[in-house]
Amino acid sequence: MHVVMIGGSDAGISAALRAREIDLAADVTVVLEDTYPNFSICGIPYYVSGEVTHWRNLAHRTTADLEAAGMRLRPGTTARRIDVPRRKLLVTTPGGGEEVLGYDKLVIGTGAVPVRPPIAGLAGPDALGPADGVHLLHSMGDTFAVMRTLEQAAPASAVIVGAGYIGLEMADALTIRGVHVTQIEQLPEVLPTVDPQFGALVHAELARHGVEVLTGTTVRAISAAPPGTPGRLRVRAAAADGIAVTRTADMVLVVVGVRPETALAADAGAQLGVKGAIAVDPMMRTGLPGVFAAGDCVITRHRLLGQTYLPLGTTAHKQGRVAGENALGGTREFAGSLGTQVVKIFSQAAARTGLRDHEATAAGFDPVTTETQADDHKAYYPGSHRITLRVTGDRTTGRLLGMQLFGHKDAGIAKRVDIAAAAIFHGMTADAVSDLDLSYTPPLGSPWDAVQMAAQAWVRQTRPD
Ligand SMILES: Cc1cc2nc3c(=O)[nH]c(=O)nc-3n(C[C@H](O)[C@H](O)[C@H](O)COP(=O)(O)OP(=O)(O)OC[C@H]3O[C@@H](n4cnc5c(N)ncnc54)[C@H](O)[C@@H]3O)c2cc1C
């Protein structure tokens, strides 16, 4: 059995590892266009900030580890065409030649590419690029280009276009490096994946660290700055009221999301779904015989919303594992996502899982959302932090639908959102969250965990009078 994975990141490598775990005799080849197999691109901001001291440290596993697991790696090799009926894959080798690889099963893990928004100066023959200090950020190659700008041009200022989680992490990273950051977001508040109340808290944390935040502001053009201006680039934008906004900076980072990389699969006849991502069934089958797909290139089943596009590393790992198992004849199903995510912004963290109020309404629930504060551990023990929690539940059934948390990065925000994720995954009511047997010691928690206190507050506030 020869299994070929296209893509050497979270999805492709997870699939390869699982295939080898299941059958040590499986012949597994991973074809990857870049030369950074199994690198944690989620860690890029922390390499840029200097907290991770060498790019090689971003590898989840080294090439030697991967080879020891029994897979054959083909770095610098681009998959060009899939011949589905003959089970052949045409690739371009690092030397530029062509080669045909036979396969019994194929897993497509081609991931995503950054969106290039319609901003003048970003497209066309005169488009500005890394050599001018204008960057997109997704791959290790993009990261090295950013590092070259930082090291060679020593920018004093940067504009970040976009205030999603990657934009925020990069604002944090560049500020740590001593670069003054202006963050421009077209939506009314930063981090639009959480409620605006939490976006405002994130906004305040950015401002507290000297980041200039312009919300409701759409960037229209990036160009070289006129001579004599401080900063080599000029960014022109329009505020919500139409007023023109101009900033100059030495560097511009455009991080406004990703789109699935699906050309190869689509050319082979795979069906596309939400946001143009590859349609897969719960077993990660594409519908093409012998062809599976996983990660940022596919649609993701959300447990409460149905089909979505949710490009996340945690999801890519799980889907890749399912695809790798099923490529070897397994029948495992991807259990679905809840869109659980967490982001650190300077000394604070914001997290969410499940649905927010408007999403729950759109999905046909009768949601109520309440906001509570609770300590991360007993306040009498030094160093406690207040956590703000927003709980969304269904008024009719009492079912817990979503939770958002904001608080100090050392206040267990990530693990607490995971408690909520586990509860929602299993369809628990908000009331039943109080029954969970959670750990307690005063320096680390409370007899009722913050998540339980928030769920209890939701139950109190929704109880009929
Ligand atoms: C800065 C940053 C921070 C992030 N932080 C987080 C986080 O904190 N938490 C989280 O859950 N997610 C995070 N993510 C998202 C996460 O990294 C992605 O969801 C995940 O890496 C997707 O993995 P993937 O394998 O599907 O695709 P990708 O990582 O996009 O990899 C695609 C692979 O396919 C290869 N490839 C593409 N086309 C071809 C071809 N034709 N032939 C051969 N090879 C090909 C590429 O070379 C690459 O190896 C972050 C992403 C970025 C950029």
**Ligand 1 centroid vs 375 CA: distance in angstroms?**
36
Which atom, in ligand 1's list, is nearest to the CA of 7? 34
**Ligand 1 centroid vs 442 CA: distance in angstroms?**
40
Question: How far, in Å, CA of 344 to CA of 306, rounded?
Answer: 28
Residue 26 clears pLDDT 90, i.e. is over it: yes
Average pLDDT, the chain: 97
Upper half-sphere CA count for residue 211 (Cβ side, 13 Å): 33
Nearest residue by C-alpha to atom 4 in ligand 1: 42
Q: What is the pLDDT of residues 171-225, one digit of tens each?
A: 999 999 999 999 999 999 999 999 999 999 999 999 999 999 999 999 999 999 9
Q: Which of 404, 420, 419 is nearest to 349 (CA)?
A: 404
Which atom, in ligand 1's list, is nearest to the CA of 11? 25
**441: DSSP letter:** -
Cα–Cα distance list, 89 to 20, 84, 102, 109, 443 (Å): 21, 8, 6, 14, 57
Sheet of 27-31, strands arranged across: 71-74, 27-31, 2-6, 105-108, 291-293
What's the mean pLDDT in 303-332?
97
**Ligand 1 centroid vs 113 CA: distance in angstroms?**
8
Nearest residue by C-alpha to atom 16 in ligand 1: 313
**Ligand 1 centroid vs 194 CA: distance in angstroms?**
23
Backbone angles phi, psi at 145, to 5 degrees: -65, -40
Residue 56 clears pLDDT 90, i.e. is over it: yes
**Ligand 1 centroid vs 310 CA: distance in angstroms?**
12
Report residue 230's pLDDT band, with 50, 70 and 90 as the boundaries: confident
Q: For the whole model, what pTM was predicted?
A: 0.96
**Ligand 1 centroid vs 9 CA: distance in angstroms?**
6
Residue 134 clears pLDDT 90, i.e. is over it: yes
Q: Which of 296, 299, 338 to mutate to test the pocket of ligand 1 (most atoms within 8 A of CB)?
A: 296
**Ligand 1 centroid vs 148 CA: distance in angstroms?**
22
Three-state secondary structure readout of 355-408: CCHHHHHHCCCCEEEEEEEEECCCCCCCCCCEEEEEEEEECCCCEEEEEEEEEE
Q: Which of 222, 75, 56 is nearest to 143 (CA)?
A: 56
Position 179 scores a pLDDT of: 98
Backbone angles phi, psi at 188, to 5 degrees: -65, -20
Name all residues whose Cβ lies below 6 A of ligand 1: 6-12, 31-34, 41-42, 44-45, 78-79, 109-112, 137-138, 166, 261, 264, 295-296, 311-314, 316
What's the mean pLDDT in 416-420?
98
Q: What is the pLDDT of residues 279-288, one digit of tens each?
A: 999 999 999 9
pLDDT-above-70 percentage for the chain = 100
Nearest residue by C-alpha to atom 32 in ligand 1: 111
